[in-house]
Amino acid sequence: DTGVSQNPRHKITKRGQNVTFRCDPISEHNRLYWYRQTLGQGPEFLTYFQNEAQLEKSRLLSDRFSAERPKGSFSTLEIQRTEQGDSAMYLCASSDGGGFETQYFGPGTRLLVL
Amino acid sequence: QKEVEQNSGPLSVPEGAIASLNCTYSDRGSQSFFWYRQYSGKSPELIMFIYSNGDKEDGRFTAQLNKASQYVSLLIRDSQPSDSATYLCAVRSGGGADGLTFGKGTHLIIQP
Protein backbone atom coordinates (compact mmCIF):
# COMPACT_ATOMS: atom_id res chain seq x y z
CA ASP A 1 0.00 0.00 0.00
CA THR A 2 1.54 3.32 -1.05
CA GLY A 3 -0.95 5.60 0.68
CA VAL A 4 -0.28 8.07 3.49
CA SER A 5 0.59 6.32 6.74
CA GLN A 6 0.51 7.69 10.26
CA ASN A 7 1.84 6.36 13.55
CA PRO A 8 0.72 5.76 16.16
CA ARG A 9 -2.93 5.31 15.32
CA HIS A 10 -3.98 5.95 18.90
CA LYS A 11 -2.28 7.74 21.78
CA ILE A 12 -3.45 8.20 25.34
CA THR A 13 -1.39 10.52 27.50
CA LYS A 14 -1.63 12.45 30.72
CA ARG A 15 -1.93 16.20 30.78
CA GLY A 16 1.47 17.86 30.74
CA GLN A 17 3.24 15.10 28.83
CA ASN A 18 4.82 15.53 25.41
CA VAL A 19 3.68 13.48 22.43
CA THR A 20 5.06 13.04 18.91
CA PHE A 21 3.25 11.78 15.83
CA ARG A 22 4.75 10.63 12.56
CA CYS A 23 3.43 10.89 9.02
CA ASP A 24 4.82 9.18 5.94
CA PRO A 25 3.38 10.74 2.77
CA ILE A 26 2.67 9.10 -0.55
CA SER A 27 5.97 8.44 -2.25
CA GLU A 28 7.24 11.41 -4.25
CA HIS A 29 4.57 13.79 -2.93
CA ASN A 30 6.41 16.99 -2.14
CA ARG A 31 3.67 18.63 -0.10
CA LEU A 32 2.64 17.47 3.35
CA TYR A 33 -0.15 18.91 5.49
CA TRP A 34 -1.24 18.56 9.11
CA TYR A 35 -4.84 19.03 10.20
CA ARG A 36 -6.70 18.58 13.47
CA GLN A 37 -10.28 17.33 13.70
CA THR A 38 -12.51 17.33 16.75
CA LEU A 39 -15.85 15.58 17.08
CA GLY A 40 -18.56 17.11 14.92
CA GLN A 41 -16.18 19.47 13.16
CA GLY A 42 -14.39 19.41 9.85
CA PRO A 43 -10.60 19.15 9.76
CA GLU A 44 -8.79 22.38 10.65
CA PHE A 45 -5.55 23.24 8.89
CA LEU A 46 -2.47 23.43 11.11
CA THR A 47 0.60 23.66 8.87
CA TYR A 48 2.14 22.50 5.62
CA PHE A 49 5.50 21.70 4.09
CA GLN A 50 6.81 21.95 0.59
CA ASN A 51 9.68 19.48 0.66
CA GLU A 52 11.51 20.30 3.90
CA ALA A 53 10.35 23.93 4.11
CA GLN A 54 7.47 24.79 6.43
CA LEU A 55 5.59 27.37 4.38
CA GLU A 56 2.47 28.12 6.35
CA LYS A 57 1.31 27.83 9.93
CA SER A 58 -2.22 28.41 11.16
CA ARG A 59 -2.84 30.58 14.19
CA LEU A 60 -4.23 27.36 15.71
CA LEU A 61 -0.64 26.13 15.96
CA SER A 62 0.33 27.42 19.38
CA ASP A 63 3.90 27.56 20.66
CA ARG A 64 3.42 24.12 22.19
CA PHE A 65 3.13 22.62 18.72
CA SER A 66 6.08 22.05 16.44
CA ALA A 67 6.34 20.23 13.15
CA GLU A 68 9.33 19.12 11.15
CA ARG A 69 10.07 17.48 7.84
CA PRO A 70 13.84 17.26 7.98
CA LYS A 71 14.61 15.44 4.75
CA GLY A 72 11.51 16.30 2.80
CA SER A 73 10.05 12.85 3.30
CA PHE A 74 8.32 11.92 6.58
CA SER A 75 7.13 14.55 9.03
CA THR A 76 6.69 14.70 12.78
CA LEU A 77 4.26 16.75 14.82
CA GLU A 78 5.13 17.28 18.47
CA ILE A 79 2.85 18.65 21.14
CA GLN A 80 4.55 19.76 24.33
CA ARG A 81 2.83 20.02 27.71
CA THR A 82 -0.38 18.51 26.40
CA GLU A 83 -3.73 19.89 27.54
CA GLN A 84 -7.12 18.22 27.55
CA GLY A 85 -8.17 20.55 24.74
CA ASP A 86 -5.54 18.91 22.53
CA SER A 87 -7.63 15.74 22.40
CA ALA A 88 -8.51 15.29 18.74
CA MET A 89 -7.78 13.34 15.58
CA TYR A 90 -4.55 14.55 13.99
CA LEU A 91 -4.64 14.06 10.24
CA CYS A 92 -1.82 14.15 7.76
CA ALA A 93 -2.34 14.65 4.04
CA SER A 94 0.00 14.78 1.09
CA SER A 95 -0.16 16.04 -2.46
CA ASP A 96 2.06 16.32 -5.52
CA GLY A 97 1.66 20.10 -5.54
CA GLY A 98 0.49 20.19 -9.12
CA GLY A 99 -1.56 22.98 -10.61
CA PHE A 100 -4.81 21.35 -9.57
CA GLU A 101 -3.48 19.55 -6.54
CA THR A 102 -5.56 17.22 -4.48
CA GLN A 103 -4.76 16.18 -0.95
CA TYR A 104 -4.94 12.58 0.18
CA PHE A 105 -5.36 11.85 3.86
CA GLY A 106 -3.77 9.27 6.07
CA PRO A 107 -5.72 7.25 8.66
CA GLY A 108 -5.05 9.79 11.41
CA THR A 109 -3.72 9.61 14.96
CA ARG A 110 -6.37 9.83 17.65
CA LEU A 111 -5.05 11.60 20.75
CA LEU A 112 -6.73 11.47 24.14
CA VAL A 113 -5.31 13.65 26.89
CA LEU A 114 -6.44 12.63 30.37
CA GLN B 1 -12.15 34.81 8.10
CA LYS B 2 -12.68 32.16 5.45
CA GLU B 3 -15.79 30.13 6.10
CA VAL B 4 -17.37 27.09 4.54
CA GLU B 5 -20.96 26.37 5.51
CA GLN B 6 -22.81 23.08 5.29
CA ASN B 7 -26.08 21.88 6.76
CA SER B 8 -25.03 19.36 9.38
CA GLY B 9 -28.12 17.19 8.84
CA PRO B 10 -28.78 14.42 9.22
CA LEU B 11 -30.06 14.21 5.68
CA SER B 12 -32.14 11.08 5.18
CA VAL B 13 -32.64 9.75 1.64
CA PRO B 14 -34.33 6.53 0.49
CA GLU B 15 -32.17 3.95 -1.21
CA GLY B 16 -32.09 4.49 -4.97
CA ALA B 17 -32.97 8.19 -4.75
CA ILE B 18 -30.76 11.21 -5.44
CA ALA B 19 -28.96 12.74 -2.48
CA SER B 20 -28.21 16.45 -2.79
CA LEU B 21 -25.55 18.01 -0.57
CA ASN B 22 -24.87 21.73 -0.51
CA CYS B 23 -22.05 24.00 0.54
CA THR B 24 -21.45 27.75 0.49
CA TYR B 25 -18.15 29.54 0.97
CA SER B 26 -17.22 33.07 1.93
CA ASP B 27 -13.88 33.67 0.17
CA ARG B 28 -14.65 34.90 -3.32
CA GLY B 29 -11.03 34.24 -4.30
CA SER B 30 -11.40 30.49 -3.76
CA GLN B 31 -10.26 28.47 -6.72
CA SER B 32 -10.48 24.77 -5.90
CA PHE B 33 -13.34 22.84 -4.39
CA PHE B 34 -13.39 19.34 -3.00
CA TRP B 35 -15.83 16.82 -1.62
CA TYR B 36 -14.57 14.26 0.88
CA ARG B 37 -16.48 11.36 2.37
CA GLN B 38 -15.79 10.39 5.97
CA TYR B 39 -17.08 7.27 7.64
CA SER B 40 -17.38 7.33 11.42
CA GLY B 41 -13.97 6.96 13.05
CA LYS B 42 -12.13 7.07 9.72
CA SER B 43 -10.20 9.73 7.84
CA PRO B 44 -11.59 11.77 4.92
CA GLU B 45 -11.58 10.11 1.52
CA LEU B 46 -11.53 12.24 -1.63
CA ILE B 47 -14.69 11.84 -3.71
CA MET B 48 -14.51 14.64 -6.24
CA PHE B 49 -12.88 17.96 -7.04
CA ILE B 50 -14.02 20.80 -9.27
CA TYR B 51 -12.39 24.01 -10.42
CA SER B 52 -14.62 25.44 -13.14
CA ASN B 53 -18.19 26.65 -13.11
CA GLY B 54 -20.70 24.03 -14.14
CA ASP B 55 -21.06 20.33 -13.59
CA LYS B 56 -18.51 17.54 -13.31
CA GLU B 57 -19.65 13.94 -13.34
CA ASP B 58 -17.84 10.84 -12.08
CA GLY B 59 -19.91 7.68 -11.96
CA ARG B 60 -22.84 8.20 -9.60
CA PHE B 61 -21.41 11.50 -8.36
CA THR B 62 -21.89 14.97 -9.85
CA ALA B 63 -20.26 18.07 -8.46
CA GLN B 64 -21.72 21.47 -9.33
CA LEU B 65 -19.97 24.81 -8.92
CA ASN B 66 -21.39 28.32 -9.16
CA LYS B 67 -18.67 30.84 -8.33
CA ALA B 68 -20.98 33.84 -8.73
CA SER B 69 -23.23 32.46 -5.99
CA GLN B 70 -20.27 30.96 -4.06
CA TYR B 71 -22.04 27.64 -4.02
CA VAL B 72 -20.89 24.06 -4.45
CA SER B 73 -23.06 20.97 -4.45
CA LEU B 74 -22.68 17.22 -4.69
CA LEU B 75 -25.34 14.96 -6.15
CA ILE B 76 -25.28 11.23 -5.50
CA ARG B 77 -27.49 9.23 -7.87
CA ASP B 78 -28.90 5.80 -7.10
CA SER B 79 -27.98 6.21 -3.43
CA GLN B 80 -26.78 3.06 -1.67
CA PRO B 81 -26.67 2.28 2.05
CA SER B 82 -22.86 2.29 1.74
CA ASP B 83 -23.10 6.01 0.87
CA SER B 84 -24.19 6.70 4.44
CA ALA B 85 -21.39 8.87 5.83
CA THR B 86 -20.46 12.46 6.57
CA TYR B 87 -19.65 14.49 3.47
CA LEU B 88 -17.14 17.28 3.89
CA CYS B 89 -16.92 20.25 1.57
CA ALA B 90 -13.43 21.78 1.36
CA VAL B 91 -12.21 24.92 -0.34
CA ARG B 92 -8.75 26.09 -1.30
CA SER B 93 -8.13 29.79 -1.79
CA GLY B 94 -6.00 31.24 -4.52
CA GLY B 95 -4.08 33.59 -2.29
CA GLY B 96 -1.04 31.41 -1.75
CA ALA B 97 -2.47 29.70 1.33
CA ASP B 98 -2.58 26.05 0.46
CA GLY B 99 -4.37 24.59 3.45
CA LEU B 100 -7.93 23.51 2.81
CA THR B 101 -10.82 25.13 4.67
CA PHE B 102 -13.45 22.54 5.54
CA GLY B 103 -17.09 22.79 6.43
CA LYS B 104 -18.42 20.84 9.39
CA GLY B 105 -19.87 18.21 7.10
CA THR B 106 -23.32 16.88 6.31
CA HIS B 107 -24.32 13.57 7.83
CA LEU B 108 -26.08 11.54 5.12
CA ILE B 109 -28.23 8.52 5.91
CA ILE B 110 -29.45 6.25 3.11
CA GLN B 111 -32.52 4.35 4.23
CA PRO B 112 -32.78 0.79 2.82
- In angstroms, the separation between the Cα of residue B69 and the nearest Cα of chain A is 22
Measured CA to CA, the distance from residue B72 to residue B66 in angstroms comes to 6
**How far away is chain B from the Cα of A11, in angstroms, using its nearest Cα?**
15
B34 touches chain A (CB under 8 A): yes
Please, which residues have CB within 8 angstroms of residue A65's CB and are 6 or more apart in sequence?
A46, A77, A78, A79, A80
| d(CA B60, nearest CA chain A) in Å | 20
Give the residues of chain B that fall short of pLDDT 50: none
pLDDT at A1: 53
Measured between beta carbons, which residues in chain A are less than 8 angstroms from residue B103? 42
Contact criterion met (CB < 8 Å) for A102 and B103: no
pLDDT given at position A36: 97
pLDDT score recorded for residue B98: 74
pLDDT of residue B93: 80
Contact yes or no for B102 and A103 at CB 8 A = no
Q: What is the pLDDT of residue B108?
A: 97
Closest listed residue to residue A92, CA positions, set A31, A30, A35, A11: A35
Supply the pLDDT for residue A3: 93
Q: A85 phi and psi, to 5 degrees?
A: -70, -10
Q: Which residues of chain A have pLDDT under 70?
A: 1, 99
CB contact B48 to A (< 8 Å) = no
Report the chain A residue with the minimal C-alpha distance to residue B39: A107
Q: Distance (Å) from the C-alpha of residue A5 to the closest C-alpha of chain B? A: 11
Taking the C-alpha atoms of A29, B99, B48 and A93 in order, what is their torsion angle to the nearest 10 degrees?
A: 40
- Residue-level pLDDT at B95: 59
Nearest CB to A100: which of B8, B51, B90? B51
